[in-house]
Amino acid sequence: MIIDTSGPPVVPAKQVADFKPSLLLGEHSLCPGCGEPVALRILLEVLQELDIVQRSIGVVGHGCYGSFVRIMDVDVLQCLHGRAPACATGIKRVRPGVAVFTLQGDGDMANEGLQEVLHAAARGENITCVMLNNGVFGDTGGQQTATTVLGQRTKTSIDGRDPEAHGYPIPVADLVASLRGTAYVARGAVSTAAGVLQAKRMLRKAFQAQLDGAGFSLVEILTMCPTGWFVPTAEGPAYQQGTMEQTYGIGELVTR
Ligand SMILES: Cc1ncc(C[n+]2csc(CCOP(=O)(O)OP(=O)(O)O)c2C)c(N)n1
Ligand code: SF4
Ligand SMILES: [Mg+2]
């Protein structure tokens, strides 16, 4: 269904409840239909439900989600592009009692800093990495990333990603899962209500692995970017289901 946004809605929207987590201090400024605020919401809910807000530190990369640092009531620092797992390693080693997590995009984790996450995983660092994968460098205008799926249109692959010219997408969660230092690795998606709940359960298990001292955990979450994908806002979830979710698959890859 295409929602006509050219004028005010015919039937005014009715707010049935306030679902905003109390750790959110304000409204986000991301595009309508963006999946990243949904992922942030479940991340904050998990921190709250595990009662670790007061002893959590987030390390945020660079991307559209970077603006969350202003509206999340959690201690965070922002480091150089792609370097979050290294910063998180340092924090965790100095403050082992703190729950340390990264919040990164596919461009940040898979392009700018793939070595960082792979080495952190191989070392078995007791941290939790979260990658929001929308298959584009959303913040800089929607260029192709290492995770852009074949056929996907981006600003730098306007006719669709072609393996001859652009190579094949990198499945980050699968790469990380192949390393022995990992305790929990999963890939979720926020394109349906059930998917959101499943992704939340994955985040909870990842943080629980860290709290248990089990080793490195990672959750890759596929998130809609209708702006960068050149698809109408309301078609973002269906586009994601038919493309990225088919390529990567959803589920748990490592549970120990
Ligand atoms: C070293 C460095 N290179 C490039 C940039 C520009 N840059 C900022 S955000 C960004 C895109 C990040 O994409 P992603 O992590 O996928 O996040 P998204 O915007 O898609 O949520 C880039 C390339 C930068 N800030 N620093
Ligand atoms: S460009 Fe994409 S990732 Fe960035 S806010 Fe808009 S929809 Fe979200
Ligand atoms: Mg991205």
Q: Residue 237: which residues within 8 A CB-CB, separation 6 or more?
A: 191, 192, 224
Tokens 């078995």 locate to: 124
Contacts of 67 (CB under 8 A, 6+ apart): 28, 29, 30
Specify the residue for token string 């596919």: 106
Strands 216-222 and 128-133: parallel
The residue extents of the domains of the chain are 36-255
The ligand minimizing its distance to the Cα of 111 is 1
CA atoms within 13 A on the CB side of 164: 2
CA 199 to CA 95: how far, in whole Å? 27
CB 135 near ligand 1, within 6 Å: no
Residue 23 Cα to ligand 2 middle (Å)? 22
Mutation choice for ligand 1 from 139, 144, 145, CB with most ligand atoms inside 8 A: 139
How high is the pLDDT of residue 13?
72
Residue nearest to atom 8 of ligand 2 (CA): 34
Of 37, 28, 81, the C-alpha closest to 59 is: 81
Q: State the DSSP code for 140.
A: G
What is the Å distance from ligand 1's center to 175 Cα? 21
Would you give the DSSP letter of residue 96?
A: T
Smallest CA separation from ligand 1 atom 1, residue? 81
pLDDT at 174: 98
Ligand 1 contacts CB of residue 82 (under 6 A) = no
- pLDDT given for residue 94 in this prediction: 98
Mean pLDDT, contiguous 10-residue spans, the chain (256 residues): 73 77 90 97 97 98 96 96 98 98 98 98 98 98 98 97 98 98 97 98 98 98 98 97 98 96
CATH numeric code, 36-255 = 3.40.50.970
The pLDDT assigned to 1 comes to 64
Determine if ligand 2 sits within 6 Å of the CB of residue 138.
yes
Give yes or no for a contact between 112 and 131, defined as CB atoms under 8 angstroms apart.
no
Please report the atom of ligand 2 found closest to the CA of residue 64. Answer: 4
> Beta strands 143-144 and 136-137: pairing type?
antiparallel
Q: Is 116 in the pocket of ligand 1 (CB under 6 A)?
A: no
Q: In which region does residue 173 sit, left (phi positive, over 0), alpha (psi from -120 to 50) or beta (all else)? A: alpha
Distance of CA 55 from the midpoint of ligand 3 (Å) = 28
Closest to 38 in 3D by CA, of 212, 249, 221, 252: 221
Write down the residue that tokens 């707010």 correspond to. Answer: 15
- Residue with the smallest CA separation from ligand 1 atom 16 is 107
Task: Answer for the pair 210, 127: CB distance below 8 angstroms, yes or no.
Answer: yes
DSSP reduced 3-state for 107:
helix
Task: Please report how many Cα atoms fall inside a 13 Å half-sphere around the Cα of residue 242, on the Cβ side.
Answer: 9
- State the pLDDT at residue 127: 98
CA-nearest residue for atom 2, ligand 2, is 225
| pLDDT at position 82 | 98
- Residue for token digits 């596929």? 222
- Characterize 115-151 residue by residue with b for buried, 16 or more Cβ atoms within 10 angstroms of its Cβ, and e for exposed: ebbbbbbeeebbbbbbbbbbbbbbbeebbbbbbbbee
